[in-house]
Structure 1
Amino acid sequence: MTVTEESAPRLDAEKIRKDFPIFEQTVYGKPLTFLDSAASAQKPSVVIEAEKAVYETTYANIHRGVYKFSQDATEAYEETRLKVQKFINASSHKECIFVRGATEGINLVSQAWGRSTLQAGDEIILTTIEHHSNIVPWQILAAEKGAVIKVIPVDETATLDMDAYRRLLSDKTKMVAVGHISNSVGTINPVKEIIDLAHAHGALTLIDGCQAAPHMQIDVQALDADFYVFSAHKMYGPTGVGILYGKEALLDAMPPWHGGGDMISTVSFEGSTWNDLPYKFEAGTPNIAGGIAMGAAIDYLLDIGYEAIQAHEDMLRDYAMEKMAGLNSVRFIGTSAHKTALISFVMETAHPHDIGTILDRQGVAVRAGHHCAQPAMDFFEIPGTVRASFGIYNTKEDVDRFIAGLQKVMDLFG
């Protein structure tokens, strides 16, 4: 999937960088080199201003007021839902549920679908390289229902063993929950094949798309995903808002998870009835300004274009890995042939936290640790890695400063 600079669609990262106010400052007197977008991406001015404008001009609670501010806020919030529908190619806006983030989306499915569906002995399939958010909710559910969790192994490159997956599937499999892209090692999983094989055995699928949404076009209908989750904050939007996509028939059949205002049709002490989709799963006052600003983030990404984004980020990844390969102390963790713009590595002579600290003094922000993926670290028999992850605002100069920082680590630790 390597893309050369000559064949790549043009993305002017220096121009894009000017859209992000945070890059106007320095860190320890050095330019900020932010290589931790996989954890949470920085925010462009259009997103910041969109959220600010809500509080300054049209803020009111939504779905409930007959006055102009409430109607305007409702219209802007629901406009984001329509943008999300188009963004992921959902068949209906009813299939796009606002949540606080992907973690809440996974918990919603595990509880609302799982509690009403799973029986003792049923099986849930995960992968070795899942984020904790796509492990722990299923463990809680399995413990409650007496279900069994099975795990797809990976090889030494962190590529899923698809033959092993085929052997794990059976008529007991009820859910296959897989990350579209690994947050810890960057592997792009073959989710379409995973979904098709699960469906052939009568199982449902949930895809954690947190690491995919900033980097590639998502088409839930083409994937035939039953559920798909992602968070706004990783795709240059605000924190505290994300999306759960679910096929309408599945969402219709699921009971609510949270109870409260807006998710009801009628309430009495004799009993209550539920609102229609999507509101059945949206109890209480949501992150209104964040939801509206998420729409601005979607517009911003689509204006740049995913072909240009992926080509630019792949170029940076390849450039960085080529430079890093010349440092004899570096060992890459996760070298799948299908890999996003994320590099996870260790150095023989320095602990990941020491590397991260030294890089920070050079103005370079990376993540060091297990990346909420301890089973993946256990597989590679390491406590953690250093992770450099690229975004639309990164440049070759960022890579060069990163490499210079690693050279400083080598000079200090030998």
Structure 2
Amino acid sequence: MESSEIRELFPILNQKIHGYPLVYLDSAASAQKPIHVIEAVKHYYEWDHSNVHRGVHTLGMRATDAYEGARVKVARFLGATSEKEIIFTRGATSALNLVASSYARTVCRKGDEIVVSAMEHHSNLLPWQQAAKATGAVLKYIPLHPDGTFSIEDVEKSVTNRTKVVSVSHVSNVLGIANPVKQMAVIARKNGAVLVVDGAQSAPHIKVDVQELGCDFYAFSGHKMCGPTGVGALYGRKALLEQMEPIEFGGEMIDHVSLHNASWKELPWKFEGGTPIIAGAIGLGAAIDFLEQIGMNTIAEHDNQLTRYAVEQMERIEDLTMYGPKDGHLGLVTFNLGNIHAHDVATVLDTYGVAIRAGHHCCQLLMRHLSIGATARASFYLYNTEEEVDRFLLALQKTKEYFKE
């Protein structure tokens, strides 16, 4: 299926903005939804809506089957050994907070280490800051090179036998580069630590196999991979999840309650208190079906090719600065155009129907490392085409001309 054909499956893209056909280049913030996902959520609300795991009536059983069926799809999508290793969350942020608040606060003691990098999205930084404060652990940073990246040698120097947790993004949401998480898992395990991977920017674009990566936890958000907002998942090794305590308490996650104590259900339900994200999980399952039908390798090839094309063309624009290594951008490119503020660039591009992101991208530490306050970011996905990249580039040229007047 060609990307132009895929585009037709996304109703929101068939509109004009300020008189121009929409060119949506902000999928790294949130991807658009295909009709398959929209219809799956609509069908649930129209035909199957009920709470799950409770009623024995037909709607309750259908809703439960659809919800737990989505968990099986996520497990398969990530290569988990069991669906019990999949916890539904509100997104990658909630998943990372769960690991930091439950696992890290249990295993870390004063003087232990939590190792992260300064390229991390705040969702993979602030939870570890809080865990370090709560436990007395030391928060260590893998040193960054001038371009914002780090090497496996930097990791080896940073991780010691005092390290309990290493947490890193699989793909940077600013630089667009993939980190060597497979090698990092080996280093972490050699030192008795666990590896936590923020997969928010990798799960939409490449085939992920958590067994091959060797990570202990992997978090991702559904809305960045064509699924609904407000749903994501945490993969965790079963042995680790079993030793963790819940951080939210209420209905559905309990086994037995007495006047002064309670015991929890088995995995994965002990971490899913209250009415779960039923429609979101069903929509996420539909998104996974959609992506797998196209093929994750096909998506990766398309996204890489389109990003390379954009980078090659952007290199020809005078006074345009791109960030990160020249090669290896996965699905996005972050840039500044001369002395024009990133927000002004994005505002002018919007008048031509081109939607991009501008700001610090929830990565203030990386922005300071690069000595910049904000950048513009164009991100590409399976529904984008070279013609849309050309329209983006033309709009950039017009933006330069606008600010020269």
Helix, strand or coil: the match of 1:157?
Answer: coil
CA distance in 2, matches of 1:153, 1:34: 34
Q: Which moved more, 1:314-323 or 1:29-38?
A: 314-323
> How far, CA to CA, are the matches of 1:27 and 1:307 in structure 2?
32
Instruction: Please identify, of 313-322 and 98-107, the stretch whose mean Cα deviation from structure 2 is larger.
Output: 313-322
The answer to which of 358-367 and 107-116 deviates more is: 107-116
Among 271, 278, 295, which residue is 1:288 paired with?
278
Match of 1:353 in 2: 343
Shift of 1:262: 1.0
Q: Which among 136, 156, 162 is matched to residue 172 of structure 1?
A: 162
Q: Which of 194, 203, 212 does residue 202 from structure 2 map onto?
A: 212
The one-letter amino acid of 1:135's match is: L
Structure 2: gaps spanning 5 or more residues: none
1:19 aligns with 2:19: no
Return the alpha-carbon distance in structure 2 between the equivalents of residues 178 and 284 of structure 1: 30
**TM, length-normalised to structure 2:** 0.98
**C-alpha separation in 1, matches of 2:326 and 2:142:** 16
Q: Partner amino acid for 1:136?
A: L
Query: Which whole-Å deviations, capped at 9, do the CAs of 1:127-149 have from their partners, x for residues lacking one?
Result: 12100000000101111111111
Structure 1 SS opposite 2:274: coil
Matched, 1:47 2:37: yes
1:304 and 1:274 mapped to 2: Cα distance? Answer: 39
Q: Distance in 2 between matches of 1:278 and 1:338?
A: 36
For the 8 Å contact 2:185–2:195, the answer to whether it is kept is yes
Q: Equivalent residue of 2:378, what SS? A: strand
The more displaced of 335-344 and 265-274 is 335-344
Counterpart residue number, 2:375: 385
Deviation at 1:270, TM superposition (A): 2.8
Q: Describe the superposition over 1:41-89 as per-residue Cα deviations: whole angstroms up to 9, x where unpaired.
A: 0000000010011110010000001100000000000000111111111
What is aligned with 1:127?
117
1:362 aligns with 2:352: yes
The one-letter code of the counterpart of 1:86 is: R
Matched, 1:312 2:302: yes
Find the counterpart in structure 1 of residue 311 from structure 2: 321
* Identity score, percent: 48
**SS where residue 185 of structure 1 aligns?**
coil
Structure 2: how far apart are the matches of 1:338 and 1:33?
23
Code of the residue aligned with 1:40 in structure 2: it is S
What does 1:108-187 align with in structure 2 at a 5 Å threshold? 108-187=98-177
Matches within 5 A, 1:218-229: 218-229=208-219
Which SS does the other structure have where 1:391 is aligned?
A: coil
Aligned-partner Cα distance in 2 for 1:137–1:325? 37
- 2:385 aligned residue: 395
Aligned residue pairs: how many? 404
- CA distance in 2: counterparts of 1:185 and 1:31, whole angstroms: 28
Give the distance between the partners of 1:157 and 1:336, measured in 2 at CA.
10
Q: Give the match for residue 234 of structure 2.
A: 244
Match of 1:174, SS? strand
Kindly provide the amino acid, as one letter, of the partner of residue 330 in structure 1: L
Deviations 1:324-355 (A, max 9, x none): 11111101111254330210011223110000
8 Å CA contact retained: 2:104, 2:165? no
Instruction: Name the counterpart of 2:257.
Output: 267
* 3-state secondary structure, aligned to 2:218: strand
- CA separation in 2, counterparts of 1:182 and 1:175? 19
Contact kept? 1:350, 1:409, Cα under 8 Å? no
1:201 aligns with 2:208: no
In 1, Cα distance between equivalents of 2:331 and 2:97: 28
Can you list the C-alpha shifts for 1:118-168, whole angstroms capped at 9, x where unaligned?
101110111121000000001011111111111112223332132222111
**Secondary structure at the residue paired with 1:188?**
coil
Is contact 1:189-1:338 (8 Å) kept? no
When residues 88 and 336 of structure 1 are mapped into structure 2, their CA distance, relative to the original with a 3 A threshold, is farther
Deviation at 1:317, TM superposition (A): 0.9
2:97 corresponds to: 107
Instruction: Give, in whole Å, the separation in 1 of the partners of 2:109 and 2:51.
Output: 40
Q: Residues 95 and 277 of structure 1 are in contact (CA less than 8 Å); yes or no, is this contact kept in structure 2?
A: yes
Superposed CA deviations along residues 304-339 of structure 1, whole A, max 9, x for unmatched, are: 011211111111111111111111110111125433
The CA deviation at 1:386 is 0.5
Contact kept in structure 2, 1:157 and 1:336, CA below 8 Å: no
User: Which secondary structure state, in structure 2, belongs to the residue aligned with residue 156 of structure 1?
Assistant: coil
SS in 2 for 1:170: coil
| DSSP 3-state at the match of 1:107 | helix
Q: Distance in 1 between matches of 2:14 and 2:285?
A: 25
Q: Distance in 2 between matches of 1:107 and 1:270?
A: 27
Question: 277, 282, 291: which is aligned to 2:267?
Answer: 277
TM-score, L = length of structure 1: 0.96
Amino acid at match of 2:67: Y
Query: Which amino acid in structure 2 is aligned with residue 249 of structure 1?
Result: A
Q: 1:307 corresponds to which letter in structure 2?
A: N
| 1:409 paired residue number | 399
1:61 aligned to 43, 48, 51, which one?
51
